[in-house]
Structure formats: C-alpha cells, structure tokens
Amino acid sequence: MYIAEIQHSIKEKAEVFGVIFIRRLLFTVYFITVICSFPVAGRSQNLPIGHLSTTYFDPARGNRPLPSEIYYPGLSAGENTPVAEGQFPVIIFGHGFQMGFDSYFYFKNAIVPAGYILVFPKTETSLAPNHAEYGTDLAFLVQQMKTEGLTPSSPFFQHVDSTSAIMGHSMGGGASFLGCKNNTEPTVMVTWAAAETNPSAISAATGVTIPSLVFSADKDCVTPPATNQVPMYDSLACNCKVLINIKGGGHCYFADANFICSLGEFGCPPFTITREQQHATTLDFTKLYLDFYLKNVPAAWTAFNDSLNTSPRITFQKSCTTTSVYPAKEDYPFNIFPNPAENYASIRGNTPGNLPVLLKVKDVYGRMMFDRTIVPAGTQFCLTLDMQSWTSGIYFAEFKDSHESRVVKILKR
C-alpha cells in the first residue's frame, strides 16, 4: 500500500508539472510571437505614454462637440509629445455613469505602453445622460481616429492602424452595444459590466456582428449579470463571442476607486477578491484578446483559450462558429467610412501589391449598384463611392483579390 501511495503521489505531481510546463510554454511562445510580429518601433512593451486633450465635432449631429482625452505611444512621455514610430490600433473607451476618464488609469497604464492608442470621450457626464448619443459618440470616434491617421496635419498622421475596438464600462459598456449595432467599422467590441440602456443594449446586441468579449462579475449587484450581461451576450449576432464572469468580483472593481460608483454598491454582498485581483484578471484576458484581433498575434488566441479553460478565477461561455483554428482574420483589411454614409463613402484598403481588386456593391435584392476592377498603384487603394442616387437602406460590398473574398455591410442613411 505504501508503495502504491508513493506511485500515485508521483503521478499526481507529474501531471501538475506537465500542466504548468505546457502553460508556461504557451505563454513563452506568445511572448516571442509578439516580439517578432512588429517592426522595431512596435517591439517595446513599455513605450512612453503621450497625452493630448482635444475636441472633435460631428457634422452629422449639428457639429456636436466631443471633448476627448487621448493617450498614445510617444517618443517620450508627456503632453503633446510626438507619436512613436509605427502604426497603432485604436481603442475608444466609454466611461460609466458619473465616472470620469481618470477612473480607468490602470487600464491606460497597461495598454498604451503595449502599443495602443486609447481615446476617452468626455461626453454624457450629466445626471440624465443620453445613451443613444453616447453610443454614437463612440462610433464616431472610431471613424475620426481613422481620419486623423490619413490627415497630414494631424499628430496621428500615418500612426493609426486599420484595426480598432469599442470598449466601455457600465453605462459605457451598454453604449458600446449601441455604437456597434449595424457597425462594422470597429474590429471588435469589449465590455466590462455593461449596463442596460435606453434604447436597449440587449436589443441592440442583435445587430452587433463583430467579434465581442463581454465581462461580468458574479458579485455585481449594480448591473447583475442575469439581467444585463448574460442577455446581452445571448442576443449577440456575431460569429465569435465570449462571456467571462469573474468570480468574487464587483461592478466598480472594473475601474479604479471611485466614490460615486462605490455609492451605487452600497448593500451589495461582500466581494471575495480585491480590486487589484480583479484588475489583473480583466487585463490578462483583455490584452490577449486585443493582441489577437487588433495586432494579429495567433499565439495570443491560444493563450487566451488556454486561460479560459484553466483559470480558477473565472467561469465562461463561448460560441465561435468557425471551421478554422482561429476566428476569421483578414490578411489585407479595408475600411469604409463613414458607415453609415449619406451621399459618399470613402473606401481604402491594402493589397499584396499591384494586383487587381474586384469591388461589387449590391442591394438587399441582389441588384448590382457598383461594379469595378481596381488596379492599385502600390500596396494600397482608395476610391470614393458615389451613393447620391441610392435609396436609404442596406447594401453589401464584396471585395475579391487573389488572396481572399470579403463582404461588408454598408448602411446608407
């Protein structure tokens, strides 16, 4: 019996060691892949944080002002410093009710040095916020930052990557659903303890078709998962969605300490983890997810799924209807903006270089509205789509080249 117990103990320890070894190997591969996947300027995981304050104006809403705080990888840390060399994905982040952008500095301090541009809109801070306008603000800023990357006079000229995310916490999470409804401009959506909004974020989820990561916390009594994040997740129309529930966590623990938010938690059951522990869990999963979808690091998806299946910190649901190892990822992305559009839309894309691209646009009845073969002068192409004579509604733009075929929905107002 004694020998059998020793053998059983050795077997158990060997299995534990094997799991630890495999996990460490996966994360080592992920780290090496990140280092090797970007140009020299993008390799550092500790880029200085630059900052500028600005106000954009949305002409489609009577020049609605959108004061914004922007943090970005800089050549040096500080105010209005030059942007670091390279192109960086954009994250638009919506704050919670009565919470400022400074409630999410832990996220800023972790994500910007890793090579992301982070934009905080400062709109809808009143006691009676307009959720619909806030969702439109988030969507507008995705477009605006892409425009900044194409504008020679902008400090972000040639520094904005083609990928982007709309994110948000609480009210900002609910508004993210509104901003991503019928909107394929952002690459992904990530929400933390998203709150039901007016109009309904749960209803809006049926029109969200981009990959989505939804966070909840099982001790959240402000936006309980059962009546907020779970039905939002269930309603999502995207072909790859994930719901992560943090064990023992709370609503306000997705942010830095905030007095107003904490007031809303009065009477909630006690949390069984610390704020710092919830931050660590949130960052671990969020960064892997963004690195895969926005920086095209396949090993990040492997590490993300490994953590889903082995982490004792969370429970999860996942639905990804894809036949490949990884969710669909474009080799040569293109952008259509504005989308929704009125009379004109600008289409910009990347190609393998000097190879023809076939562009067709059809209406919902299959009628051809536009058919052209584009021969780029280099690795990029750009054209203006004239939609003046088209009726308001949904159209489908199909792009084909020698490498891939993609269809994107265009909404004409």
Given a cut of 80, whether residue 2 has pLDDT beyond it is: no
Out of 21-25, 48-52, 89-93, which region has the weakest mean confidence (pLDDT)? 21-25
Task: Read off the DSSP letter of residue 338.
Answer: S
User: Alpha-carbon distance 19 to 24, whole Å?
Assistant: 9
Out of 28-37, 157-166, 404-413, which region has the weakest mean confidence (pLDDT)? 28-37
The pLDDT confidence band at residue 28, using thresholds 50, 70 and 90, is: very low
Encode pLDDT of 270-285 as tens digits: 999 999 999 999 999 9
Which residue type sits at 172?
A: G
User: Alpha-carbon distance 71 to 310, whole Å?
Assistant: 33
Where are the domains positioned within the chain? 41-320, 334-412
Encode pLDDT of 77-117 as tens digits: 999 999 999 999 999 999 999 999 999 999 999 999 999 99
Q: Which two tokens stand for residue 336?
A: 């259509």
Contact (CB, 8 A) for 133 and 171: no
User: Cis peptide leading into 312, omega within 30 of 0?
Assistant: no
Encode pLDDT of 228-254 as tens digits: 999 999 999 998 999 999 999 999 999
Which residue type sits at 62?
A: G
- Across-strand partners of 317? 243
Contact (CB, 8 A) for 180 and 161: no
Contact (CB, 8 A) for 308 and 225: no
Selection from 187, 64, 209 nearest residue 130 by Cα: 64
User: Alpha-carbon distance 242 to 218, whole Å?
Assistant: 16
Given a cut of 90, whether residue 140 has pLDDT beyond it is: yes
User: Alpha-carbon distance 266 to 259, whole Å?
Assistant: 11
Length of the chain equals 413
The reply to whether 334-412 shares the fold of 41-320 is: no
Out of 9-13, 67-71, 247-251, which region has the weakest mean confidence (pLDDT)? 9-13
pLDDT at residue number 363: 80
Contact (CB, 8 A) for 69 and 51: yes
Given a cut of 80, whether residue 325 has pLDDT beyond it is: no
Given a cut of 70, whether residue 353 has pLDDT beyond it is: no
User: Residue 396 burial by CB count (10 A; 0-12/13-18/19+): exposed, middle or buried?
Assistant: middle
Q: Which of 153-167, 290-304, 336-350, 365-379 has the highest mean pLDDT?
A: 153-167
The pLDDT confidence band at residue 296, using thresholds 50, 70 and 90, is: confident
In the chain, the largest separation of any two C-alpha atoms, in whole Å, equals: 86
Q: How would CATH label the architecture of 334-412?
A: Sandwich (2.60)
3-state helix, strand, coil in the chain (%, to 5): 35, 30, 35
pLDDT at residue number 139: 97
The pLDDT confidence band at residue 10, using thresholds 50, 70 and 90, is: very low
User: Tokens 């800089």 label which residue?
Assistant: 74
Share of the chain above pLDDT 90, in %: 64
pLDDT at residue number 326: 53
Beta strand 380-386 with 344-350 is: antiparallel
Contact (CB, 8 A) for 295 and 38: yes
pLDDT at residue number 310: 92
Class of domain 41-320: alpha beta
Given a cut of 50, whether residue 321 has pLDDT beyond it is: yes
Given a cut of 70, whether residue 405 has pLDDT beyond it is: no
Angle between helices 298-310 and 275-295 (to 10 degrees): 150
